């Protein structure tokens, strides 16, 4: 069983590329507030990689409007899910599990 009482997920199918494994680690390190697109881009991560993680269920994207410089803009935060945390805890995202 995983740390959240769930079965550890098999990430060989879910996180096939090293870019996806790296992205999951970066997102996890961002904490509960989540990672911005700016942070993810700074780490060399593509939107395609993030989309694959969302599709696999290991991260989510939360969008909201924020006011900056007198204008309303869309902001998105990418957050790790329990399944993603379970995978990291099991070491599977790094080829250890």
Average pLDDT, the chain: 80
Q: Which residue has the higher pLDDT, 24 or 92?
A: 24
Question: DSSP labels for 27-47?
Answer: HHHT-TT-B-HHHHHHTT--H
Residue 14's pLDDT band (cuts 50, 70, 90): low
- The SS3 assignment for 65 reads strand
Pick the closest to residue 76 from 30, 7, 19, 10 (CA basis).
Answer: 30
What's the pTM value of the predicted model, to 2 decimals? 0.71
């Amino acid at each position: 069983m995983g740390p959240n009482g769930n079965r550890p997920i098999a990430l060989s199918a879910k996180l096939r590329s090293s870019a996806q494994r790296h992205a999951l680690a970066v997102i996890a390190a961002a904490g509960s507030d989540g990672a911005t697109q700016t942070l993810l881009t700074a780490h060399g991560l593509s939107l395609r990689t993030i989309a694959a993680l969302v599709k696999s269920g290991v991260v989510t994207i939360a969008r909201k409007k924020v006011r900056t410089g007198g204008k309303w803009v869309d902001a998105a935060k990418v957050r790790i899910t329990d399944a993603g945390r379970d995978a990291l805890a099991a070491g599977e995202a790094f080829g250890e599990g």
